[in-house]
Amino acid sequence: MKALHFGAGNIGRGFIGKLLADSGVEVIFADVNEAVINLLKTNRTYGVKIVGDSINTIEQVNNVSGVNSTDEAAIIALFNEVDLVTTAVGPNVLKIIAGTLAKALEARLASGNCKPLNIIACENMVRGTTFLKEQVFTHLNPAVKNQIEQLIGFVDSAVDRIVPPVKPDANDPLLVTVEEFSEWIVDKTQFKGTVPDIKGMEQTDNLMAFVERKLFTLNTGHAVTSYYGKSKGYRFVKESIEDAEVKAFVKSVMQESGAVLIKRYGFDPQAHAAYIEKILKRFANPFLVDDVDRVGREPLRKLSYNDRLIKPLRGTLEYGLPNDNLIRAIAVALCYRNENDPQAVELAKSIADNGVAETVKKYTELQDESVIERIVAAYNAQ
Ligand SMILES: NC(=O)c1ccc[n+]([C@@H]2O[C@H](COP(=O)([O-])OP(=O)(O)OC[C@H]3O[C@@H](n4cnc5c(N)ncnc54)[C@H](O)[C@@H]3O)[C@@H](O)[C@H]2O)c1
Ligand SMILES: O=P(O)(O)OC[C@@H](O)[C@@H](O)[C@H](O)[C@H](O)CO
């Protein structure tokens, strides 16, 4: 089996690429980072260092290669050869690669290739592959869209493994460091043809429960750890979560989002409490060096309507559940400042130019004036 994976970054190399290669799949990484692509082409292998309480080992990933994702002719040719396409490029990049994917799918179908092909976006977003499909479809005519509906599976997924960037290793510049835990869950109802047999890729017909459980627990807690930690002068996730005040606040936010998940999906409250505890432990992994600015990156995305802060808040409003901590968490996120992050710069400028209430309305798309007032009050109290 052959797979084309967009995004040879942390999750691409440290998680999805590794699982595919471990299952005997030949993986070609498509990326815009020429240096990484050249190394992949030359070395054809890289190491993944797995770290945790009971593990510190390097596993080798073999049978890999690279291609520049801006080389449309090469991508189009590869689309005719592969059985699976995956991405881990970041939600904002899906729109950018959609045009190339559309051309490549059109060419595959025009060549008479009738084999089913599945595409899985492995991003932190609710139904990211469905979003990618919508973007791809904006480039295609109805006849091609109809053919795609028959042969191409756009499969949503949930991905979980903490993989911070590491300083390049002199012996293996492609080496990535990952935590031991990993979870990749795919919507089995969306595949076309046979579901590929990938060890570590779990199938479900109830994906939304898993996507929201992960995004509104791990990523909600992670974002709050990062934003609150940064406000207290911390640089790393581990030192933030070791601050008792940060930990208590993060846990209280996760408990509020957890109440929404329990109500919506019928999760067992005790099992969900254990899930929260396990995540708090993962944040404190002493072997991972994870910068709060990586975890807090792109705050406008994190403050958007369907993401990790606003969607759980909307859930509390829907079910009449407590939300004081989520409101404060949103206020803390609005306080995030990072001159190296264009979205953090835009956030600060919007607050300075238009005020907090207008900024909240614009980026979160919340409309309930009383909720916006509570966020503004929490912001002013920070
Ligand atoms: N790192 C984690 O802990 C983690 C865990 C789970 C999910 N995720 C999600 O995985 C996705 C990737 O995150 P990451 O941490 O690996 O980020 P990353 O920045 O390490 O990797 C992204 C890669 O995409 C590449 N890229 C950018 N534009 C591209 C384009 N047009 N074509 C092809 N490649 C392009 C970048 O060069 C980079 O190598 C995000 O959606 C993130 O939310 C990350
Ligand atoms: O990748 P983001 O920016 O959506 O979120 C930052 C982190 O919370 C995230 O990358 C986690 O490390 C990951 O989701 C763990 O599975």
- CB distance 319 to 260 below 8 Å: yes
**Nearest-CA residue for atom 32 of ligand 1:** 31
Q: pLDDT tens, 13-58?
A: 999 999 999 999 999 999 999 999 999 999 999 999 999 988 899 9
| Statement: residue 168 has pLDDT above 90 | no
| Strand residue runs (E) in 63-171 | 64-68, 84-87, 117-121, 152-155, 157-160
- Ligand with minimal distance to 215 CA: 2
Q: Is the CB of 75 under 6 A from ligand 1?
A: no
Percent of the chain with pLDDT over 70: 100
Q: According to the model, what pLDDT value does residue 357 have?
A: 98
Average model confidence (pLDDT) across the chain: 97
| Statement: residue 366 has pLDDT above 90 | yes
- Ligand with minimal distance to 304 CA: 2
Order of strands, sheet of 64-68, starting from the edge strand that comes earlier in the sequence: 64-68, 26-31, 2-6, 84-87, 117-121, 152-155
Domain range list for the chain: 2-205, 208-380
How far, in Å, from the CA of 137 to the mean position of ligand 2?
A: 27
The verdict on whether residue 14 carries a ligand-binding annotation is yes
Q: According to the model, what pLDDT value does residue 329 have?
A: 98
| Strand residue runs (E) in the chain | 2-6, 26-31, 45-52, 55-62, 64-68, 84-87, 117-121, 152-155, 157-160, 176-179, 183-187, 201-204
- CB distance 213 to 219 below 8 Å: no
**Nearest-CA residue for atom 13 of ligand 2:** 162
CATH 3.40.50.720 assigned to domain 2-205? The reply is yes
CATH code given to domain 208-380:
1.10.1040.10
Q: According to the model, what pLDDT value does residue 363 have?
A: 98
With cut-offs at 50, 70 and 90, classify the pLDDT of residue 345. very high
The verdict on whether residue 229 carries a ligand-binding annotation is no
Probe target for ligand 1 pocket from 40, 89, 94, with the most ligand atoms within 8 Å of CB: 89
Is the reported ipTM for this assembly greater than 0.95? yes
Do domains 2-205 and 208-380 share one topology? The answer is no
Ligand 1 nearest atom to the CA of residue 160, by list position: 6
Q: According to the model, what pLDDT value does residue 55 have?
A: 84
Q: pLDDT tens, 239-284?
A: 999 999 999 999 999 999 999 999 999 999 999 999 999 999 999 9
How far, in Å, from the CA of 307 to the mean position of ligand 2?
A: 12
With cut-offs at 50, 70 and 90, classify the pLDDT of residue 337. very high
